[in-house]
Structure formats: C-alpha cells, structure tokens
Chains A and B, each alone.
Chain A
Amino acid sequence: MTPVESAERALRRAVPWIATSLALIAAVYVRALAFTPAEAAQGPAQKIFYVHVPSAWVAFLAFGIVGGVSLAYLLRKDPRLDLLAESAAEVGMVFTSVVLVTGPIWGKPIWGTWWTWDARLTLTLFLWFVVLAYLVLRGAVNEPERRARYAAVLGILGALLVPFIYASVYLFRTIHPMPVILRAGGPTLPGAMLATLLFSIAVFTLFFGVLLYYRYSLARLADARADAAAERRDA
C-alpha cells in the first residue's frame, strides 16, 4: 500500500469514531441538561460547567502535547512529529475557543460581568494567544523544515510560559482580591453532578483524541500526496 493509500485508509477508519464521539457528546448534553440536578444558588446556568471544564482540561492537554511533541521534534527531527504538533495546536485552538466563549456566558449570570481577570480564564486567554501565535508563525514560513523548527521553538517556549502566567495571575489576585468564584456545588460535588462531570470529561477527551487523529491523518495525506507529485515530476 502506498503512503497515500494508507493515509486515505486512516481517514476512512476514523469517521465511525467521529460519529460515535458526536453521539456521546449528545448523550452528555442530555444527561447534563435533563438528568442532573441544578445547583440551587446558581441556577441552571451553572450547568455550563459540564461543557466549560472538560473543554478547558482538553485545551491544556492539547497544549501540553504541542510542547512535548515540539521538544521531541527538535531532538529527533522527524517531520511526522511536526505534523502531530501542528494538529494538536489546531484542534486545541478549537477547544480553547470554546472555553473562552462559554466562560463569559457562565460568568455574566453568576458574577454579573462578562469578563473577570480570574486565574483560569486569564490563563486560557493567554494560552489562546500563544496557540494563535504558533499557527500564525506556521502560516508565515514557506519552507517546511524551517517552519517545523520555528514552530517547535515557539511550542516549547509557550509550554514553559504557562506556569509563569498562572503564577502572575495568582499573585495578582491574592494582592487584589476579587469576588469569590462560586464553585459548582461547594468543595465537594454531590454524586450525580460529579458523575456527569467525569462522564463529560471522558467524552470530550475521546472527542479530542479522535479529532487529533483525523487532523494528523489529513496532514500525513497532504504530505504523502506532495511527495508523490514530486516523484512523478522527477521521473
């Protein structure tokens, strides 16, 4: 089987997985909206939590993958690692955007304001900026080898930056206290809510994995096609 054919097969194999993940997300929606009790003090809007938190977890997971794979690329110089990092960044961007959209929609009814510079949202915002910079940088370099190198450097530095931004926001908030963030149900979640949250985290992580695999296969396919075309030209 040629590289092009095996990449195409990978794509086809992934489609049922995508369908399954989407169905599971629908199940999460039904469970969260209809079968999980609302939190008395915050009202139904608190349920945004079941989409916001798993998306945030995935966003940071994706970014961790970008950082780790970027380091691996600089050490091993395998172009497939570069494609994996690129895929993780793009898919991670989508999840990060969902966090930034659902965050304010949750914040407005709960805290009365669309945006507060709280630790999690601020950290996510700057994560978004770093991933954006990563994707813009990739778009601005034509040569594949240099693009991969530059992106890897930015990916690693970006991953190093995350704990410092967290520390900055944390320090800022301890000195300038803000309204206490209401947690979903106090320090410990009641059983039904915890179960929904864990279910949602599992489903969204699976969804991320499937999208990542598909996006990576797309990149491999494009690469394989470009190689095949170059070979035909040289022949």
Chain B
Amino acid sequence: MPPRSGGMPENGGYMVAAYVAAGAIYLIYTALLLRRGRAGK
C-alpha cells in the first residue's frame, strides 16, 4: 500500500475513476478490433 502521511488530500476516488475509464476504453477498443478480425470467417 502507498504510504499515507498526515496532510495528503483524500482524492483516491478520482484515481480509481481515471484508471477504470482508461482501462475500459482500451479494452473495449481491443475487443472491437478482435471481433472485426473474427468476422467474415
């Protein structure tokens, strides 16, 4: 776990949101590409 000091702002929620959003966009696009690769067989 990352070390937590006294004065650090509590904004972990944003971190999670950004990581999830980015991951989702990349995963969805990759999945769409792979599906296009399988289509027409």
Are A and B close enough to touch in the complex, i.e. CB under 8 Å?
yes
Residue of A15, A34, A38, A101 near B22 (CB, 8 A) is A101
What's the tally of chain B residues with a CB closer than 8 Å to chain A? 29
Once bound together, how far apart are the Cα atoms of A41 and B9, in whole Å?
Answer: 7
A215 contacts B33, CB within 8 Å?
A: yes
The answer, among B2, B3, B14, B23, for a CB contact under 8 Å with A48, is B14
Interface residues on A, range: 35 or more
In the bound complex, CA of A74 to CA of B8 (Å): 54
Contact A37 B2 (CB under 8 A): yes
Contact of A52 among B18, B30, B34, B36 (CB under 8 A): B18
In the complex, A51 has a CB within 8 A of chain B: yes
A94 contact from B19, B23, B26, Cβ within 8 A: B26
Interface hits, B13-29 → A, CB 8 Å? 14-15, 17-19, 21-23, 25-27, 29
List of B residues within 8 angstroms of A11 by Cβ: 37
- Within the assembled complex, what's the spacing in Å between the Cα atoms of A51 and B14? 13
Instruction: Report Cα–Cα, A195/B3, bound state, in Å.
Output: 18
Q: Which residues of A contact B5 (CB under 8 A)?
A: 40
Among A36, A41, A55, A101, chain B packs the most CB atoms within 10 A around the CB of: A101
Q: Known contacts A42-B9, A47-B15; is A98 also within 8 Å of B26 by CB?
A: yes
In the complex, the answer to whether A44 meets B34 with C-beta atoms within 8 Å is no
**Chain A: interface secondary structure?**
helix
Q: A37-B3, A102-B21 are in contact. Are A218 and B33 (CB under 8 A)?
A: yes
Measured between beta carbons, the chain A residues less than 8 angstroms from B36 are: 218
At the interface, yes or no: A190 with Cβ under 8 Å from chain B? Answer: no
Contact with B along A216-229 (1 / 0, CB 8 A): 01100000010000
Q: Decide: A214 near B33, CB < 8 A? Known: A36-B2, A109-B9.
A: yes
| A217 / chain B contacts, CB cutoff of 8 Å | 37
Give me the 5 closest cross-chain CB pairs, A-B, nearest first.
A43-B9, A109-B11, A45-B11, A105-B18, A48-B18
Knowing that A48-B18, A97-B25 are A-B contacts, what are 19 other residue pairs whose CB atoms are under 8 Å apart, sorted by A's residue number? A11-B37, A15-B37, A22-B27, A25-B23, A33-B19, A38-B3, A43-B10, A44-B2, A44-B8, A44-B12, A48-B15, A52-B18, A94-B29, A98-B22, A98-B26, A102-B18, A102-B22, A109-B11, A218-B33
11 A-B contacts (beta carbon < 8 Å): A34-B1, A38-B8, A41-B7, A42-B9, A44-B11, A45-B14, A55-B22, A98-B22, A98-B25, A106-B14, A109-B14
Residues of A at the B interface (CB closer than 8 Å) are 11, 15, 18, 22, 25, 29, 33-34, 36-38, 40-45, 47-48, 51-52, 55, 94, 97-98, 101-102, 105-106, 108-109, 207, 211, 214-215, 217-218, 225
